[in-house]
Chain A
Amino acid sequence: MDALRLMLELFLMPLVAFVIGLAMVLLMRRIGARLQRRVGPPLLQPLWDIIKLHGKETQTSHGLIHEIGIVMAIGGFVAAVTLIPVPGMNGLAEQGGLIALIYMMMIPSLGLALGVGQCANPNGSIGISRALTAMLAYDIPMVIVVFGIAFFFGSTNLVQIVEAQQAGGIATWGLVEMPLLAIAGLFAMQAMLGKQPFEIYIAPAEIATGPMVEMGGKFLGGLFIMQCFQLYTAGALYTLLFLGGGENWLTFLIKVFGVVAIPMTIAFLFPRYRTEDVVRLVWKWPAMIGLLGIAFLMY
């Protein structure tokens, strides 16, 4: 019975994540439209985009690794989603823990790098080298934040972390207990989602969307699906670490959407930094704030 329940959860969790992710993509585009005083896309626009891209009649593949790279990009996030406990479903969260989750969230970038490498397009190579440099940049504050959380709760088990936060209401939320780490985490999340001002690896005007330059049809469709999972993973992870997870689906969804809306709102007001500036900025400010937060926790 337990195995059956686990199978059901492993099937349902990515599905739920995908649907929520679609809504988040819509949220992102609507926020952008509102800030630019436009109407914005209709309700099911993200879904139509994905269906259309997979329904293309000619697909330009650049070889086997190109296709495997996309599968890795989606698969990494699907694996990550099963490690994130949501109300009513724990999936593999008990067994996996925070460190496995952070590890899984790096796989999509590596898969994308493999796939783009096979395309042999110079714009793509520049884009992916910038993307991996950005990953190196935001992973340092990310690891600092994760270390601080694990130190504070004395556990890397996400289920326990959430339970500890829900024990005393808002007063025991990570956000209240560790405000400096929460700020650093939000900063790192902005870079992790690749939103402006940390958007250099996509850079539509200069390097023609970077890693996505040779991706058409189902490959771009795969990346759109990946984006849905990416938004959900980032929002849910932040919610679990700092906002006490969700007591039920309603509060969980409110928190997750609220968290994702913050970087989106900031994003559309900014141009972008150069790669070296991103590294300098992210290694300086969020990393320093995070270290300061840990120092406050320890003494």
Chain B
Amino acid sequence: MTEVTKTPAAGDALPVKTGKRTNPLANVFDELVRFAQSRSLFMLHYCTGCGAIELPPAMTSRFDMERLGIQPMVSPRQADILLVTGYVSVKTLKRVILTYEQMNSPKYVIGICSCTVNGGMYWQSYATAKKLNDYMPVDIYIAGCMPRPEAVIAGLRGLIEDIRRGTADTWKDYYRRYDHYLGNQQRLFGEDWQTPTDVIAEARHYGLFGPGTLGERTALLERHQKPLEALEMKLDIPELMARRSGLGSKGRTEVK
């Protein structure tokens, strides 16, 4: 892994290793890991729209995703695939991005239904994000309104094949062209949009810097960014607080 010591300037191209490694044993190891990654996919389904209705048949006895090694998981930290099923409103998109940034790489995004491709029947809606891949890199779109379970399985098989060949690396794109994605997000959510995950720091730590990681949009982010602070612990129940303060004063008088 490349160690990045100095902060790269905007537009700096850093060497990001691609392709095969020179050590043949390392190549075998990479092949094994890639195969394991393709055969074991934990799926987080962000069921925003009607496409979610086609997932239960794909998971249960009729089509049984588990025979392909795909199983549902409930927390973004555990998941490999983010499945966005259906239209994404502006408010939902914030949550989808938060979820996406919390996932551990390599992570894959699948857009199901035509709504994620181009807005679908919500094309004229003012509150719907039209193209999902403006805001995060999408590996595979499964178009249709809604796609049948067969189509979902076929799409997942395509993703599995991509992972095994090592070509499903769009997640790196989010780090390398963060400025582009952040720009699109800021266009929707306003200039002061920020997420708890520090994508730039992650890119620096894992050596995933690209020419487009930093730019004018990330400069804007840095200007607006507030440091994350732990929430203050407080109970805001008036009756309880009143009773407590009453007890406290009584205790004090007794001591006297």
Chain A interface, >50% SS class = loop
Which chain B residue has the least Cβ–Cβ distance from A220? B78
Number of A-B residue pairs having CB atoms within 8 Å of each other in the complex: 92
Interface membership of chain B positions 182-212, coded 1 if the CB is closer than 8 angstroms to chain A and 0 otherwise: 0000000000000000000010001000000
Q: Does A251 contact B (CB under 8 A)?
A: no
Q: Does A90 contact B (CB under 8 A)?
A: no
Given A33-B66, A45-B69, A209-B75, are A55 and B37 neighbors across the interface (CB < 8 Å)? yes
A44: chain B residues at CB < 8 Å are 39
A51: chain B residues at CB < 8 Å are 32-33, 36, 40
Query: A55, B77: Cβ atoms under 8 Å?
Result: no
In angstroms, Cα B202 to Cα A37, docked, is 43
B103: chain A residues at CB < 8 Å are 216
Query: A58, B206: Cβ atoms under 8 Å?
Result: yes
Q: Does A60 contact B (CB under 8 A)?
A: yes
- CB contacts under 8 Å to B, within A201-255, are 204-205, 208-209, 212-217, 220
Query: A33, B104: Cβ atoms under 8 Å?
Result: no
User: Shortest beta-carbon distance, B21 to chain A, in Å?
Assistant: 14
- CB contacts under 8 Å to A, within B196-242, are 202, 206
Interface size of A in residues (CB-CB distance below 8 Å): 34
Interface membership of chain B positions 73-99, coded 1 if the CB is closer than 8 angstroms to chain A and 0 otherwise: 111111010000000000000000000
B202: chain A residues at CB < 8 Å are 58
Which chain B residue has the least Cβ–Cβ distance from A57? B105
Given A38-B66, A40-B66, A42-B69, are A209 and B104 neighbors across the interface (CB < 8 Å)? no
Which chain A residue has the least Cβ–Cβ distance from B29? A55
Q: Does B106 contact A (CB under 8 A)?
A: yes
Query: A38, B104: Cβ atoms under 8 Å?
Result: no
B76: chain A residues at CB < 8 Å are 216
- CB contacts under 8 Å to A, within B18-65, are 32-33, 35-37, 39-40, 60-61, 64
Q: Does B67 contact A (CB under 8 A)?
A: yes
Query: B104, A60: Cβ atoms under 8 Å?
Result: yes
In angstroms, Cα B103 to Cα A283, docked, is 40
Q: Which residues of B contact A (CB under 8 A)?
A: 32-33, 35-37, 39-40, 60-61, 64, 66-67, 69, 71, 73-78, 80, 102-106, 202, 206
The 4 closest A-B pairs by CB, nearest first: A216-B77, A51-B36, A55-B33, A37-B61
Known A51-B32, A60-B77, A217-B77; further 20 A-B contacts with Cβ < 8 A: A29-B66, A36-B61, A38-B61, A39-B64, A39-B67, A41-B66, A48-B40, A49-B69, A52-B33, A52-B37, A52-B40, A57-B105, A57-B106, A59-B104, A204-B74, A208-B74, A209-B73, A212-B75, A213-B75, A213-B77
